[in-house]
Structure 1
């Protein structure tokens, strides 16, 4: 099982390692699966097993993933899991040099592009989901006049709420209660803008 704390990325090398499009996809897939082999993940990202293995090793070099307990009977397969309960990073750790600022921005854009692609895929396939899932899905925008401390407070409270539901779902899965459960992506952005 992953460590219960989120890992704060503060070094440029680790941020760049995660900021590769395939590595970010593999990290996300491994986070959802909780443990998997390169073969399992290669099927999910539609890439060659050798290429996936290479990128998994790069993620492991930076401590983002670790080897997991072997599953099944094939002792040759290497199992992986994420090393922590997610990752985070902030601009304050990457604003000392132009290269750091550029890497921080590039990873942010990559995350947004992958999340947008994930939502577009849902929109394109939503008619295939049962009515209850189409009704439960959401897309909302709130325009609130906040201060920076209020936005930070909102972020903390929202994180606590999301973690409560994530932990509840995982506990149910661990107990064998998987009926009706799907992995749900929750994307939220909060940022100031001027009209």
Structure 2
């Protein structure tokens, strides 16, 4: 049933666009009741987000052997989802809805963002294990540095995002995460030094 709902949502967005989309249309196309959709998703925006940008599965974690390589693989995978015409229609609507709906905001944080930040936690853990980072970094900050920058470029500044920019974003995020790890490691070192 989940796949039917998400497929129907994708098809309708392609056919009529996000603004004209209704949950009634999704239910009819998927052959399910509206209640079945609302048990899974709190709103039209969340349903569309799950169908077009987040999907059922996040990109698999690519262990490329380096922090930069892992971040580059991740941002490329997310770019392919975030740069679609449907995502350009949806992102502003979702941001607007989250701003006025605390329940949707909490749900979004606890599901989609938590899953994305878990990927960053794994990437950071691997980089620490390889000796690339002096210590851990808050996955939320790593998420902001990489995917926050990508979202801003795509949806707010409206920059043409090509592979060169994606590579630059991964390079900048790698430098930022490394600097944060170094700073946190040196702060911990100073805190335990005898006075």
- Common fold by TM > 0.5: no
Higher strand share: 1
Structure number with higher helix proportion = 2
TM-score, normalised relative to structure 2: 0.31
Greater length-normalized contact order (CA 8 Å, ≥ 6 residues apart): 1
TM-score (norm 1): 0.31
In our comparison, the structure showing a higher alpha carbon Rg is 2
